[in-house]
Amino acid sequence: MLSGMLVTGARIELLMRFYREHPRYREDGAGSYGVCGAVVGVGIAVSVLTDATPLTGGQRSLALGATSFALARMLDSRPRCCNRAKRLAVSATVDYLREHVEIGLPCTRQIICKYVPRNQECPRTLCPYYDSDTELSRT
């Protein structure tokens, strides 16, 4: 996400602020806090990009909206998959920035997951990134 922000011309000091002010989020955030770390990253990225603070109503609303938008994309009854969550968050952010902030980021939509053999909880055909041919070629 941050690399994509550089494409938009985001100032490098904004990206450095991101790293300074936002420590790592727990990997089990969705199960423990109810919010996936990828979604938290979306909110942080939009906050940094728009220079939001608790006192900047419009920018703050954009960051909250992006977080909500990305979280809504992840709602399903499937077990956790951090790779699916990250991909959905990036895709949602690209769409949100285009629709609400008028920033276009490049995004590859045709992604095929290569982690299926490593994730016993993978929902396979229910995942938008699953490809049975890729799975068969790895076995």
Residue 58's pLDDT is 95
Query: pLDDT value at position 63?
Result: 94
Global confidence as pTM: 0.77
**One-letter-per-residue 3-state SS of the chain:** CHHHHHHCCCCHHHHHHHHHHCCCCCCCHHHHHCCCHHHHHHHHHHHHHHCCCCCCHHHHHHHHHHHHHHHHHHCCCCCCCHHHHHHHHHHHHHHHHHHHHCCCCCCCCCCCCCCHHHCCCCCHHHCCCCCHHHHHHHC
Q: What pLDDT was estimated at residue 79?
A: 83
What pLDDT score does 104 carry?
Answer: 82
For the chain, the structural domain boundaries read 2-109
Q: Could you tell me the mean pLDDT of each successive run of 10 residues in the chain, 139 residues long?
A: 58 67 65 78 86 92 96 87 88 92 78 86 89 66
